[in-house]
C-alpha cells in the first residue's frame, strides 16, 4: 500500500537522483504506543527506497484525524496535483510527536510548531507529519464552511479572485489633500529626512497603501497598528519602484519597511524567484524570513527560501525548486549555489541589501557585486545601512539609479531608548566592576549582553560570571555550532521597538582610537562622560583631524559661489604647465 505522493512532499534530497515513495507497513513501536489511546489500529509509515517515481496508487491511506477516528486520504495522479517526486530516504512521519523541533531557519509546522518537513500540496503550508496535515486540512475546511455560513451570498456566487491583476501605488486622497507645509512639519517632527528628485509623500497609516485585505490583516495580527517613521517614507517610495538608500537601525522597523515593497512586487510577478534579500548574517536572515512569512501568510503563491551558511545545503536547494518568490540569503551561500547553477536569478525584480555597512565590514562587497552580476539590469535596489560612511556612498553610487535617500532619527546617534553610561575602568579592574554591576539590582535587569574583544575572552568571562555571581551565563561567537547559537539566542532580543535599556561601556587608554567617536555620539544624549576621556589629548587630536577633513571636503564641493574660483585655478595651473 503506497502513500500517495501528493500526501506529503519531503524537503530533503538524498542526492542519488533515485526516487522513493512512502510505504505503509505495520508497527513502529512508538507510533503504536500513541495509538493505544485510540480505538482503531494505526499503521506506521516507513519509506521504501528506489520505487519508480512514476508509480502512483489508487489505494487510500488511513491516519488518525484530530477526533481520533481514521481519516482517509486518497492518492492522486501527478496531473492531479503531485508537485514533486522528490527522493528521500527518511521515514515519513505519521505523528506530530515523532517529529523533531525545528532548528532556526527551518520551516515550522503550521499546526504544531515542529519541523515542517513537508509541504502540504493542497495549501502550500508547512506540515510536520500526516497527522498535522490532516488537522491542517480540517482546519482549512472548517474555516471555509464558517465563512460560507457567515456569508451565504458569497458562497453561492462565483469564487472571488482574492487579488487584482496588478498593483500601482497611488497617493491616498487623505495624503494628497495635505498642504505641503503640513507634510514638511510632519517629517520634521518625526525626524524623517529625505533627499532625491520627486519623492512621494510619506504615508501616515498602512491603509494609505491600499494593500490587499490579507496583508492588512497580517499587519494587524503582527501588532503593526501604525507605521514607524522609516516605514512611513520608505514604503511608498519602495512601492513606486524607486531605488532607495536608507539609513535605518535595527529596532526602527526597517525590515517591514523593505519587506512590504518586496511582497507587493513579488506578489504580482509571475516568474520565480522575483525578489532577493541579502543580509550579512544567518541570524538576521532567519529573523527576516520569519517576519516575511508572518506578513505573507495567506497570500497566494508566496513562498520564501533561506539560503544561508551553517545550515545543510540539500533542504535549501530542494526548497529553492518549489517556485519560491523571495530568496533571503547570505552572500557566500548564495554565490556557491549560483556557481553550481542551482538557481536562476533572471526573474529577480527587486533586491534588498540589508545592513550594508556590516556587509562591507565583513568583507562581502565583492560577493554582493558578483551576485548582482547574475541579475538582468532592470531591477529595483534598496540599500539599508545603520550608518552611511563614504564606503556605503560609493557602493550606492555603483548600485543605485536616481535613488531616494531616507534618513530617520539623528544620524549616528545611539537609540534614544537606551541610556548610555560611559565608565573609565582600567583593564585589571574590569572584571570586578562587571561583577559589581551584575550584583546591583538598580543596574542589573536580565537579560544582559556583555561584549568583549575576543572569542576566548568571551568563554572565560562567561565562566567567571557564572562562578562568581551565580547568574546563568553563556557565551556566543563564531566558533559555536548552530545548535549552540540557537539555544543561546533563546535569551531573547534586546533594544526592540519602544523598549528601554541601559548600555554601559568600559573605556581606558587601550581604546583611545575610539575616543572622539564615543564622545561625539554619546554627548548629545546628555550622558556624563568621564573626565579622563574629556581631558584626553587623543580625543582633542582626533577632533581636530576630523574638523580639518570636513573643511577639506567642503572646499572640494563645487557650488555656485566657488565655481569661478575653481575654473580660474584650473586655468592657471594649465597655463603654468
CA–CA dist 440, 502 (Å, integer): 13
To ligand AMP, the closest distance from the beta carbon of 34 in angstroms equals 37
- Does the footprint of ligand AMP cover residue 23 (CB under 6 A)? no
To ligand AMP, the closest distance from the beta carbon of 263 in angstroms equals 14
- Does the footprint of ligand AMP cover residue 492 (CB under 6 A)? no
- Does the footprint of ligand AMP cover residue 236 (CB under 6 A)? no
- Does the footprint of ligand AMP cover residue 497 (CB under 6 A)? yes
- Does the footprint of ligand AMP cover residue 228 (CB under 6 A)? yes
To ligand AMP, the closest distance from the beta carbon of 215 in angstroms equals 13
Binding ligand AMP (rule: CB under 6 A), the pick from 251, 347, 414, 457 is 251
| 487 grid coordinates | 539555544
- Does the footprint of ligand AMP cover residue 256 (CB under 6 A)? yes
- Does the footprint of ligand AMP cover residue 250 (CB under 6 A)? yes
User: Which CB, 394 or 499, lies closer to ligand AMP?
Assistant: 499
- Does the footprint of ligand AMP cover residue 232 (CB under 6 A)? no
| 427, 510 contact by CB (below 8 A) | yes
DSSP 115: B
Binding mask 279-298 for ligand AMP (x = CB under 6 A): ------------x-------
To ligand AMP, the closest distance from the beta carbon of 221 in angstroms equals 11
- Which helix (H) or strand (E) segment is 127 a member of? strand 126-127
Q: What are φ and ψ of residue 424, in 5° steps?
A: -85, 110
User: Which CB, 251 or 309, lies closer to ligand AMP?
Assistant: 251
Minimal CB distance residue for ligand AMP = 255
| 161 grid coordinates | 479572485
CA–CA dist 5, 21 (Å, integer): 7
To ligand AMP, the closest distance from the beta carbon of 294 in angstroms equals 8
CA–CA dist 434, 440 (Å, integer): 10
Give the Cβ contact number of residue 179 at 10 Å. 8
User: Which CB, 64 or 227, lies closer to ligand AMP?
Assistant: 227
Binding ligand AMP (rule: CB under 6 A), the pick from 96, 255, 281, 542 is 255
To ligand AMP, the closest distance from the beta carbon of 567 in angstroms equals 47
Binding ligand AMP (rule: CB under 6 A), the pick from 64, 253, 315, 403 is 253
User: Restricting to residues 396-455, which ones interact with ligand AMP according to CB under 6 A?
Assistant: none
The count of residues interacting with ligand AMP (CB under 6 A) is 15
Place of cell 524607486: 242
CA–CA dist 515, 532 (Å, integer): 10
DSSP 202: P
**CA-based Rg of the chain, rounded to a whole angstrom?**
28
Taking alpha carbons only, the member of 119, 172, 466 closest to residue 318 is 119
User: Which CB, 256 or 371, lies closer to ligand AMP?
Assistant: 256
| 382, 373 contact by CB (below 8 A) | no
| 302, 269 contact by CB (below 8 A) | no
To ligand AMP, the closest distance from the beta carbon of 251 in angstroms equals 5
Taking alpha carbons only, the member of 404, 367, 408, 366 closest to residue 386 is 408
- Does the footprint of ligand AMP cover residue 221 (CB under 6 A)? no
299 SS3 class: coil
Place of cell 489508487: 58
DSSP 209: G
Binding residues (CB under 6 A) for ligand AMP: these are 223-224, 227-228, 231, 250-256, 291, 496-497
Amino acid at each position: 500500500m503506497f502513500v500517495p505522493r501528493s500526501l506529503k512532499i519531503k524537503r530533503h534530497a538524498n542526492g542519488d537522483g533515485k526516487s522513493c515513495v512512502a510505504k505503509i507497513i505495520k508497527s513502529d513501536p512508538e507510533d503504536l504506543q500513541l495509538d493505544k489511546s485510540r480505538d482503531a489500529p494505526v499503521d506506521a509509515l516507513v519509506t521504501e527506497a528506489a520505487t519508480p517515481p512514476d508509480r502512483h496508487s489508487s489505494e487510500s491511506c488511513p491516519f488518525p484525524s484530530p477526533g481520533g477516528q481514521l481519516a482517509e486520504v486518497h492518492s492522486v495522479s501527478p496531473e492531479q496535483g503531485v508537485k514533486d517526486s522528490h527522493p528521500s530516504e527518511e521515514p515519513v512521519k505519521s505523528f506530530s510527536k515523532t517529529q523533531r523541533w525545528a532548528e532556526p531557519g527551518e520551516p515550522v509546522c503550521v499546526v504544531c510548531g515542529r519541523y515542517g518537513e513537508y509541504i502540504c500540496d493542497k495549501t502550500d503550508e508547512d506540515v510536520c507529519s500526516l497527522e498535522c496535515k490532516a488537522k491542517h486540512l480540517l482546519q482549512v475546511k472548517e474555516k471555509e464552511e464558517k465563512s460560507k455560513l457567515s456569508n451565504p451570498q458569497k458562497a453561492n456566487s462565483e469564487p472571488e479572485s482574492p487579488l487584482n491583476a496588478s498593483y500601482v501605488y497611488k497617493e491616498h486622497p487623505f495624503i494628497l489633500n495635505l498642504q505641503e507645509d503640513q507634510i514638511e512639519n510632519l517629517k520634521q517632527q518625526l525626524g524623517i529626512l529625505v533627499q532625491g528628485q520627486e519623492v512621494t509623500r510619506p504615508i501616515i497609516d498602512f491603509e494609505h497603501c491600499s494593500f490587499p485585505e490579507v496583508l492588512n490583516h497580517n499587519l494587524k495580527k503582527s501588532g503593526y497598528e501604525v507605521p514607524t517613521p522609516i516605514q512611513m517614507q520608505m514604503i511608498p517610495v519602495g512601492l513606486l519602484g524607486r531605488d532607495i538608500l536608507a539609513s535605518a537601525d535595527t529596532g526602527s522597523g526597517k525590515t517591514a519597511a523593505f519587506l512590504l515593497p518586496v511582497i507587493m512586487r513579488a506578489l504580482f510577478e509571475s516568474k520565480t524567484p522575483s525578489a532577493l534579500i541579502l543580509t550579512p548574517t544567518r541570524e538576521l536572515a532567519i529573523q527576516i524570513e520569519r517576519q516575511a512569512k508572518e506578513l505573507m501568510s495567506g497570500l497566494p503563491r508566496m513562498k520564501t527560501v533561506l539560503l544561508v551558511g551553517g545550515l545543510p545545503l540539500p533542504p535549501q536547494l530542494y526548497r529553492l525548486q518549489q517556485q519560491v518568490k523571495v530568496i533571503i540569503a547570505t552572500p557566500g551561500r548564495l554565490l556557491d549555489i549560483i556557481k553550481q547553477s542551482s538557481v536562476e536569478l533572471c526573474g529577480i525584480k527587486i533586491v534588498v541589501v540589508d545592513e550594508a555597512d556590516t556587509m562591507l565590514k565583513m568583507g562581502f562587497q565583492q560577493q554582493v557585486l558578483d551576485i548582482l552580476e547574475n541579475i538582468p539590469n532592470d531591477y529595483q535596489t534598496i540599500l539599508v545601512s545603520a550608518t552611511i560612511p563614504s564606503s556605503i556612498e560609493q557602493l550606492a553610487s555603483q548600485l543605485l539609479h536616481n535613488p531616494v535617500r531616507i534618513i530617520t532619527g539623528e544620524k549616528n546617534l545611539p537609540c534614544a531608548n537606551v541610556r548610555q553610561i560611559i565608565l573609565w575602568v582600567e583593564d585589571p579592574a574590569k572584571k570586578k566592576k562587571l561583577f559589581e554591576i551584575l550584583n546591583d539590582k538598580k543596574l542589573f535587569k536580565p537579560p544582559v549582553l556583555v561584549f568583549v574583544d575576543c572569542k576566548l575572552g568571551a568563554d572565560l568571562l562567561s565562566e567567571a560570571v557564572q562562578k562568581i555571581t551565580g547568574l546563568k551565563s553563556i557565551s556566543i561567537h563564531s566558533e559555536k555550532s548552530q545548535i549552540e547559537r540557537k539555544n543561546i539566542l533563546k535569551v531573547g532580543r534586546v533594544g526592540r521597538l519602544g523598549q528601554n535599556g541601559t548600555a554601559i561601556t568600559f573605556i581606558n587608554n587601550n581604546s583611545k582610537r575610539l575616543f572622539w567617536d564615543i564622545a561625539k555620539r554619546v554627548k548629545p544624549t546628555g550622558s556624563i562622560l568621564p573626565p579622563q576621556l574629556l581631558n584626553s589629548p587623543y580625543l582633542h587630536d582626533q577632533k581636530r583631524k576630523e574638523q580639518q577633513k570636513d573643511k577639506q571636503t567642503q572646499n572640494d564641493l563645487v557650488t555656485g559661489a566657488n565655481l569661478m574660483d575653481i575654473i580660474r585655478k584650473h586655468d592657471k595651473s594649465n597655463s603654468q604647465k
